[in-house]
Amino acid sequence: GQNIDQPTEMTATEGAIVQINCTYQTSGFNGLFWYQQHAGEAPTFLSYNVLDGLEEKGRFSSFLSRSKGYSYLLLKELQMKDSASYLCAVFGGSYIPTFGRGTSLIVHP
Amino acid sequence: SQTIHQWPATLVQPVGSPLSLECTVEGTSNPNLYWYRQAAGRGLQLLFYSVGIGQISSEVPQNLSASRPQDRQFILSSKKLLLSDSGFYLCAWSAKTSSYNSPLHFGNGTRLTVT
């Protein structure tokens, strides 16, 4: 079956760096995605990894190790508006991605 | 650029009433289309997905149904709503690719409250 694990909640300070981990077990691999979801809103696409390594996009970076079934999302220079839920999603070889339950990030002053 | 429209944004319906939520995508053709539900504080639950007109796959047994009458139109329906149908409904699309999957892009969602 498909399984994705993320921490339920994390807290960090404004201006700091935070790393949100995601481990997965899927039958096949066709891409890993990170989404940001603010309370009461729809998820918005942040980043996309299909090959091992780091993808950088401004303050956000995402890393993938396919052999370890592991990814992380790195957020730098945290801002209060980064308080949100972060969802890890994996395509395991079909049109249907498996989503993690999400990590609720609380950024405090 | 591609956009996805979903309406209405909020809906309050009595138990036993019908439901119709509509989603349309612009700026792309032959997309994969998805309906998800998210209960308060919970993860995303896939309800239906479609790879083409008239092709619907259901992921969970329920009193909901979906239809895709046109290439870029996806409709979620129910004949009689239950209290347990309350939730945040999200439509999403993704492009078909020959290699790795492309990401899903979500509409703004419909918050449904069944009373």
Share of chain B above pLDDT 90, in %: 82
Q: Residue B61: its pLDDT value, please?
A: 66
Residues of A within 8 A of B105 (CB-CB) are: 45
Q: Tell me, what amino acid is at A72?
A: Y
Question: Average pLDDT, whole number, for chain A?
Answer: 94
A87-97: b (≥16 Cβ within 10 Å) or e? bbbbbbeebbb
Give the distance from residue B87's alpha carbon to the nearest chain A alpha carbon, in angstroms: 11
Inter-chain CB proximity A33 and B104 less than 8 Å: yes
Inter-chain CB proximity A99 and B105 less than 8 Å: no
Residues of B within 8 A of A45 (CB-CB) are: 103-105
Q: How far is CA B63 from CA B7, B71, B77, B82, in A?
A: 20, 24, 9, 8
Instruction: Calculate ∠ Cα A78-B2-A52, nearest 5°.
Output: 50
- How large is the average pLDDT for residues B2-23? 96
Of A30, A40, A99, which has the smallest distance from its Cβ to B44's Cβ? A99
Q: Residue B34: its pLDDT value, please?
A: 96
Q: How confident is the model at residue A1 (pLDDT cuts 50, 70, 90)?
A: low
Question: Average pLDDT, whole number, for chain B?
Answer: 93
- Using one digit for the tens of pLDDT, what is the confidence trace for B49-74? 999 999 999 887 678 999 999 999 99
With a CB cutoff of 8 Å and minimum separation 6, the contacts of B61 are: none
Q: Residue A11: its pLDDT value, please?
A: 98
Give the whole-angstrom CA distance, residue B97 versus residue B51.
Answer: 12
Of B43, B51, B111, which has the smallest distance from its Cβ to A95's Cβ? B51
Best B7, B48, B104, B105 member to test A by mutation, with max A CBs in 10 Å, is B104
- Match 């699309």 to its residue by tokens: B93
Give the whole-angstrom CA distance, residue B9 versus residue B84.
Answer: 19
Give the whole-angstrom CA distance, residue A73 versus residue A71.
Answer: 7
Q: Residue B111: its pLDDT value, please?
A: 96
Q: Which stretch of A71-80, B2-11, B97-106 has the lowest confidence by average pLDDT?
A: B97-106
Q: Residue B101: its pLDDT value, please?
A: 76
DSSP-assigned states of every residue in A40-84: TS--EEEEEESSSEEEEETTEEEEEETTTTEEEEEE-S--GGG-E
Q: Are A48 and B103 in contact (CB under 8 A)?
A: yes
Give the distance from residue A48's alpha carbon to the nearest chain B alpha carbon, in angstroms: 7
ω before A97 within 30° of 0 (cis)? no
Q: Residue B97: its pLDDT value, please?
A: 80
Residues of B within 8 A of A99 (CB-CB) are: 43-44
Q: How confident is the model at residue A32 (pLDDT cuts 50, 70, 90)?
A: very high
Residues of B within 8 A of A96 (CB-CB) are: 46, 49, 59
Number of residue pairs across A and B with CB atoms under 8 Å? 45
And the tokens for A59? Answer: 């303050």
More confident residue, B98 or A5: A5
